[in-house]
Amino acid sequence: MELTLLGTGAPDGLPRPSCPCAVCASARGPWARAATALLIDDALLLDLTPGAMFAAARAGHSLGAVRQVLLTHPHDGPAVELPAPLPPAARVPDGQVLTLISGHRVRAVAMDAPGTGYEVTSPEGERLLYLPPGAAPAGLPERVERPYEMVVLDVIGRPDAVARLRAAGAVGPTTEVIAVHLDHDARRARRWSGGSRRPGRGRCRTGRRWWWASTTRCRTCRAGCW
Ligand SMILES: [Zn+2]
Ligand SMILES: [Zn+2]
C-alpha cells in the first residue's frame, strides 16, 4: 500500500487564515499544512480538500486514476470544487463495506464524535485505519485480530485514541502511527510528524517507495529515510 499525504493539517489548514498566534506565525514554508487528505495507491482518496489535485501533482502523483472519494467528516464552508475526473464524494454508513475495482476493501468505522473512520485493506492485505479530526473509534472489540500496518489519526487532539487502539492490539510495535489534522494548538505535533526534518518528499533508501509530507518513519524500512 502506498500512502500519499496530500495534507496533514486541521480542516482549516495551518496556519489558520488571519490567526495571530505564534504557531500560525511559524507555520510558513515547509511547515504550512493543507487540510488532511490521503491518497491510497492512487486509487482511493480519503477526504477532498481544496488544492488536492495540485498537492498530488507536487508529490509526483495524479488523481486521474481515483475510483472512489470518501469523506470522514462534513465540511463547513463553501463546497470543494470537484476536479473534473473525480467520482462524486460520499460518506458511507457505519459498518458498510465497499470493494473498489482496484481491489481495495473499505469498511466504514463508527466514531465517538461526528464523522466516519475508514479501514482500508489493500489487495495485498495491508491494512490502514484513518480517523476524522477529534475522533476515536466508538467501541473496539476486546482484542483485534492483528495490528494495522498504518493508523492515521488526530494524535494531538485524541491521544486516548492511540492508547485505546494499542490496548486492543490494533496498534502494535510495527504499526506506523501518523499524526494528522494538526492545528495551531499543537506544538507537540512536531515530535509526531517529522521532528526537525522538513516535511517534503523523500525516497526510501531501499528505493522502493516515495513519501510525501510528514511521516515519522518510512513504511518500507521503518527508519527515517530522509
Ligand atoms: Zn493560530
Ligand atoms: Zn525507507
Q: Which pLDDT value is given to residue 15?
A: 92
User: What's CA 78's distance to the chain center, in Å?
Assistant: 22
Q: Is residue 11 part of a domain?
A: yes
Spacing, Cα 150 to ligand 2 middle (Å): 15
Q: Which pLDDT value is given to residue 28?
A: 86
- Our count of domains for the chain comes to 1
For the four alpha carbons of 182, 76, 200 and 15, in that order, the dihedral sign comes to negative
Spacing, Cα 3 to ligand 1 middle (Å): 28
Q: Is residue 209 part of a domain?
A: yes
Cell digits of residue 82: 470537484
**Contact at 8 Å (CB) between 180 and 154?**
yes
Average pLDDT of span 2-20: 90
Q: Is residue 220 part of a domain?
A: no
CATH number, domain with residue 19: 3.60.15.10
Residues of the chain with pLDDT > 70, as a percent, come to 77
**Contact at 8 Å (CB) between 83 and 41?**
no
**Highest mean pLDDT range out of 19-23, 33-37, 200-204?**
33-37
How many C-beta neighbours within 10 Å does residue 54 have? Answer: 13
Residue type for 29, please? Answer: G
Can you tell me which residue has the cell 521532528? 195
Q: Is residue 219 part of a domain?
A: no
Mean pLDDT, rounded, of the chain: 81
pLDDT tens digits, 149-190:
999 999 988 989 999 999 999 999 889 899 999 998 865 444
Q: Is residue 226 part of a domain?
A: no
Spacing, Cα 66 to ligand 2 middle (Å): 25
Q: What residues sit around ligand 1, an ion, with C-beta below 5 angstroms?
A: 16, 19, 21, 24, 184
Q: Is residue 192 part of a domain?
A: yes
ipTM surpasses cut 0.85: no
State the DSSP string of 58-106: HTT--STT--EEE-SSPPPSSPPP--TTSPPEE---TT-EEE-TTS-EE
Q: Is residue 138 part of a domain?
A: yes
pLDDT tens digits, 103-152:
999 999 999 999 999 999 999 999 999 999 999 999 876 678 899 999 99
Spacing, Cα 174 to ligand 1 middle (Å): 34
Spacing, Cα 60 to ligand 2 middle (Å): 18
Domain housing 105: 3-213
How many C-beta neighbours within 10 Å does residue 139 have? Answer: 8
